[in-house]
Amino acid sequence: MSSSEVSISQTSSSVAKLPLLAAVFALIGLTDAIYLTIKHYTGEQVPCSVIEGCEQVLTSQYAEMFGVPLAVFGAIAYFAAFSLALLAAFGNRLMWTLFGVQVILMTIFTAWLIYLQGFVIGAFCQFCLLSAATTLALFIIYLFSRFSRTR
């Protein structure tokens, strides 16, 4: 077994559960992104029950990249995060490292999107905020795994 294939559970008992927890959060993000993608392509309005501004955000010029809804990119990113976390949960440390790189990139992009909502668009979307919270949770799980391994 190479060093990249050493089980995460061999380094710390708490780390073994973190990839599974990350997979669950990634599924939450994937569900949210698929929901927004379906709403986009069916042309249905997204109900904004917690805060106002969903339609303003989801129909802004920033809601698409290269003619593709950001929710599609989010679904791809969350599916990849889920897959990497699941592979890591079954012992592939390299996949956990790749998961970390991806989650860092997702967090940076999410920060940009939150900035756009707050300071450019001037409205927030509850589903976008759920996605941001999910990404932040994935980032915290990854950071926790890095710090718990060094003890």
Distance of alpha carbon 37 from alpha carbon 72, whole angstroms: 6
Domain assignment of residue 42, yes or no: yes
Domain interval for residue 39: 13-149
Domain assignment of residue 48, yes or no: yes
| Contact between 6 and 118 (Cβ < 8 Å) | no
Domain assignment of residue 5, yes or no: no
Residue 121's domain is classified under what CATH number? 1.20.1440.130
Domain assignment of residue 6, yes or no: no
Domain assignment of residue 4, yes or no: no
Domain assignment of residue 65, yes or no: yes
pLDDT digits (tens, 9 = 90+) for 78-120: 999 999 999 999 888 899 999 999 999 999 999 999 999 999 9
Quote the Cα angle for 88-36-83, to 5°: 10
| Contact between 42 and 71 (Cβ < 8 Å) | no
Domain assignment of residue 1, yes or no: no
Question: pLDDT above 70 covers what percent of the chain?
Answer: 87
Domain assignment of residue 59, yes or no: yes
pLDDT digits (tens, 9 = 90+) for 33-85: 999 999 999 999 888 888 888 899 999 999 999 999 999 999 999 999 999 99
Query: How many domains does the chain contain in total?
Result: 1
Quote the Cα angle for 9-11-13, to 5°: 50
If pLDDT is split at 50, 70 and 90, which confidence band does 149 have?
low
Distance of alpha carbon 92 from alpha carbon 95, whole angstroms: 6
Q: What is the DSSP string of 35-59?
A: HHHHHHHHTPPPP--SSS-HHHHHT
